[in-house]
Amino acid sequence: MENNKNMTVWQRLSHAFGPNALLNQDYPTYKFDRKELLKTKSKDEYEKELLQAQQTYYLANQWTKIESNLYTQAVYYEPTRLASFYDYESMEYTPEISAALDIYGEESTTVDQNGYMLQIYSESKRIKGILADLFNNVLDVNTNLPMWTRNTCKYGDNFVYLKLDSDKGVVGCMQLPNIEIERLERGMPAQASRQTVEEPKENRGLRFKWKAKDMEFNSWEIAHFRLLGDDRKLPYGTSMLEKARRIWKQLLLSEDAMLIYRTSRAPERRVFKVFVGNMDDADVEPYVQRVANKFKRSQIVDSQSGNVDMRFNQMAVDQDYFIPVRDAAAPNPIDTLPGAQNLAEIADIEYIQKKLVTALRIPKAYLGFEEVVGDGKNLSLLDIRFARTINRIQKSMIAELNKIAIIHLFLLGFEDELGNFTLGLTNPSTQADLLKIDVWKEKIVLYKDAVTAIEGIAPVSVSWAKKHILGFSDEEIKLDLQQQRIEKAVGTELTNTATIITKTGIFDNVDKLYKTVSGSTTGGPSAPPPPPGELGGGESELPPPPPAGGEAGVTPESFNRDNLKILLETDSLTDEDSFIDLSKGKNYLGEIENQLGKLLRD
């Protein structure tokens, strides 16, 4: 504690997020010295301590080898990671993949009924208010979180730099280029020397490096969003597009081949039969070529040399054929060759597209490949499966948002409240919620049947049913019983409200206007109803005369709204003193304006 008092806030933050953090993930320590090993007269105890020290030393070497292996794995994966990033950039231009990334980002960051993407729960209103200001105002998660989520799904990683202030906490953020950021785990730089036990203390913790700028950041300066899935890619995440890389390349090749076939085989061609008669065989080809050039070829003059060049006008895909014919009476001198007849056969393209959609884990109906048939039950089932994928993405995003919240609270001095909050994102699947509701309905029905007495004896006790049917623990059952007892006491107090509170005072203003007493639970007998003959058809009674003085009673409808009056906070709505007449002030302003005008003219 004394050392913490002498540390700056940044040193304490590094200590909290460093290797000596709450998880106590530090190197194994050992003592193998004659002076510090053990001083005892028992040989057995000495041998035991000696063996334990040797085993601890062995475990320390094992720990070092494992960390060196992790660094070697990261070094070999780095070129592959860069190549995959370039593939992800190219895959962005495929409409299906681009739409899939948009769906990932949109479905993972849907807003709730209040218009917020991130839900914050805390028992402390102050902590909840601080975090709400951080995420909604400072970081603006409603704008930034969809982009962060999309990048995380695209690359598997997303690095965001946090701008920190020692007094205000997190005051801003900046998106970093994902391809240029390197994550350095503990023990990674120690690959040059194998004696990693004596590694410098500052190299033991997690940190990040910007290779292009030669900058190094602490773990609490960077928010690293990552989708953990493949251990071969550790310490980095796995992109949602990784499984579709090979299929995407096959799809590109197949689509290119289909387009080449269509452009080369689809157009119709014509066959012209040129009559050559008894012309010599050596002269037939030049003659036919000369005839074809008159129809199709045109001389092109080179602008640089001035020569006539025929090579630029090569035979096009819709070029016709000219065939010499010696029989003058040959039928159909011009024939038409049909184009390709199997242009609609794209089963191979559809097969690869299905594999691509399967790799993206998005229902085809979401991407527009097929229409919803029937009443949509099939899509509902697919929606539940897709919701699990979205929930996995949301958990990865929330994990790093928790880190940002902890850093912010730590800098503000709330070190004792670091765990007094919970962050959540909206579940986009209504079908998953309905399924949970159906499951709970069945559990409640089963619970009622289990505790209902049959001939005076219930099948099981209430505690057993809560534990084995509803899944309550012993502590939760005890807490539930305490809550039910308090709720019964509250219910009894509510039933006695009429005897405790005889008049609320809400209708006092109405009572003053109409000279009646309402809102009271006690009172005299009501007036008898009028005779039947006076309900209609006869002369109605005149309204009561105005009070003495000749003026009518004051009612809310009798006020003149043209006087610009302001209602004051008083008990009465009808007293003249309850208003300020602004019309007088308006007249005084006119007089003041006239006087100022005279002074200026003088």
pTM of the model: 0.62
What pLDDT, on the 0 to 100 scale, is given for residue 191?
Answer: 40
- When mean pLDDT is compared across 38-42, 164-168, 460-464, the lowest value belongs to 38-42
The residues, ordered by sequence, that sit 6+ positions from 160 with a Cβ below 8 Å of its Cβ are 148, 173, 174, 175, 176, 222, 223, 225
- When mean pLDDT is compared across 272-286, 330-344, 464-478, the lowest value belongs to 330-344
What pLDDT, on the 0 to 100 scale, is given for residue 145?
Answer: 93
Res. 359 pLDDT band, cuts 50 70 90: confident
Of 134, 167, 168, 157, residue with least CA distance to 222: 157
Q: What SS3 class is residue 336?
A: strand
Helix (H) or strand (E) holding 161: strand 157-165
274 torsion bin: left (phi>0), alpha (psi -120 to 50), beta (else):
beta
pLDDT digits (tens, 9 = 90+) for 384-425: 778 888 889 999 999 999 999 999 999 998 888 888 899 999
Of 177, 176, 103, 110, residue with least CA distance to 141: 110
Helix (H) or strand (E) holding 175: strand 169-175
d(CA 220, CA 407): 7
Residue in this structure with the two tokens 């096959």, named with its chain if needed:
250
Exposure b/e, 107-123, CB count within 10 A at least 16 = b: bbbeeeeeeebbebebe
For 273-311, give the DSSP string: EEE-TT--HHHHHHHHHHHHHHHT---EE-TTT--EE-T
What pLDDT, on the 0 to 100 scale, is given for residue 373?
Answer: 45
Residue 224's φ and ψ, nearest 5 degrees, are -105, 100
Given a cut of 70, whether residue 530 has pLDDT beyond it is: no
Helix (H) or strand (E) holding 257: helix 245-265
- When mean pLDDT is compared across 36-40, 251-255, 517-521, the lowest value belongs to 517-521
Q: Per-domain residue ranges for the chain?
A: 2-240+393-425, 267-337, 433-497, 503-521+554-602
Given a cut of 90, whether residue 151 has pLDDT beyond it is: yes
What pLDDT, on the 0 to 100 scale, is given for residue 175?
Answer: 92
66 within 8 A of 25, measured Cβ to Cβ: no
d(CA 473, CA 576): 66
Q: Which of 66-70, 184-188, 476-480 has the highest mean pLDDT?
A: 476-480
Q: Please give the biggest Cα pair distance in the chain.
A: 138
